[in-house]
Structure 1
Amino acid sequence: MTADHRPPMSKADYVYSVLLEEIRTARIPGGTALRAGAVARRLGVSVTPVREALRRLEKDRLISYEAHHGATVVELGDDALEEFYGLRAVVEGLGARLAAARITAGELAWLRDLHASMARDAEAGRHDRLGERSRDFHLRITDIGGPAFLGQQARAVRNSFPVPAAASQWLDPGQARRHLDAHAGVLAALERGDGEAAERVMAGHVREAGEYRRNA
Structure 2
Amino acid sequence: MYEVLRDEIRNARVPGGTQLKAAHLAERLGVSITPVREALRRLEKDRLVSYQSHRGATVIDLSDEALLEFYNVRAVVEGLGARLAAARITPGQLAELRSLHGQMVADAAERRLVGLGELSRRLHLAIADIGGPAFLGQHAHAIRDSHPVPAAASLWLDAEQAEAHLAEHARLLDALEAGEGEAAERIMIAHVRASGAYRVGGPVGD
The normalised TM-score by structure 1 is: 0.87
Q: Is the 8 A contact 1:182 1:201 kept in 2?
A: yes
CA positional deviation for 1:55: 1.6
Coordinate RMSD, CA, aligned = 1.5
1:119 aligns with 2:92: no
The match for 2:164 is: 178
Q: Structure 1, residues 46-80: CA drift from partner, whole Å, max 9, x if none? A: 33332232122101111112233221112211101
1:87 aligns with 2:73: yes
The match for 1:133 is: 119
Q: Among 173, 176, 180, which residue is 1:194 paired with?
A: 180
SS in 2 for 1:167: coil
Change (3 A) 1:49 1:106: farther
Q: Among 83, 91, 100, which residue is 2:86 paired with?
A: 100
Extract unaligned runs of 5+ from structure 1: 1-14
Distance in 2 of aligned mates of 1:163 and 1:27: 10
The match for 1:12 is: none
The match for 1:148 is: 134
Q: More deviation in 196-205 or 144-153? A: 144-153
SS in 1 for 2:147: coil
1:27 aligns with 2:13: yes
The match for 2:147 is: 161
The match for 1:41 is: 27
Q: More deviation in 31-40 or 105-114? A: 31-40
Q: Is the 8 A contact 2:85 2:131 kept in 1?
A: yes
Extract unaligned runs of 5+ from structure 2: none
The normalised TM-score by structure 2 is: 0.91
CA positional deviation for 1:128: 0.7
Distance in 1 of aligned mates of 2:35 and 2:28: 13
Over the matched positions of the two proteins, sequence identity in percent amounts to: 66
